[in-house]
Amino acid sequence: MSTIGFKEIVILETSKGKIEIELNRAKAPITVENFVKYVKDGFFNGTIFHRVIPGFMVQGGGFLPDGTQKKTRSPINLEARNGLRNLAGSVAMARTMEPNSATSQFFINLVDNKFLDAATGNDGYAVFGMVISGFEIVKSMANVKTGSRGMHQDWPIEDVLIKQASIK
């Protein structure tokens, strides 16, 4: 799919308001293709932001409000060395300690998190987009009270729901 001449934007309708994310397919083609497939499949609809850490980031894209983790497609290759940085408002893929383990979960940086960028001895986290509208909504998520749910820390007590994700 060619994106020359137009911007590729995903809209997240959340319980806190609307967030628009501009994707960067030129710098992160594998990651953007993966994310867009999940959006088009309706995968994110009804999921929550399940990890909220003020002064750091908010993470979503994998759990239902009852704590059930959704089944994902196979992991993708890490594209963290693409020149994009984990700055405030940037959107990156979450992963395990294994570099090529990202599936559906993503996070939005609340502040500049340069330590998440790829560097010598650091695989980094692949940035693939930027919040272009609704960053105040993202920042408001950092104000929700959190607790523990099973093995998960920083889980919001009040659900922050992704009602619908769509391509603009």
**Residue 97 pLDDT:** 96
Q: Average pLDDT for residues 36-50, to the nearest whole number?
A: 98
150: left (phi over 0), alpha (psi -120 to 50) or beta: left
CA separation for the pair 23, 8 (Å, rounded): 6
pTM score over 0.85: yes
Level-2 CATH architecture, domain 9-167: Beta Barrel (2.40)
Q: Calculate ∠ Cα 26-102-126, nearest 5°.
A: 40
Q: Average pLDDT for residues 96-124, to the nearest whole number?
A: 97
**Residue 5 pLDDT:** 53
Q: Average pLDDT for residues 42-50, to the nearest whole number?
A: 98
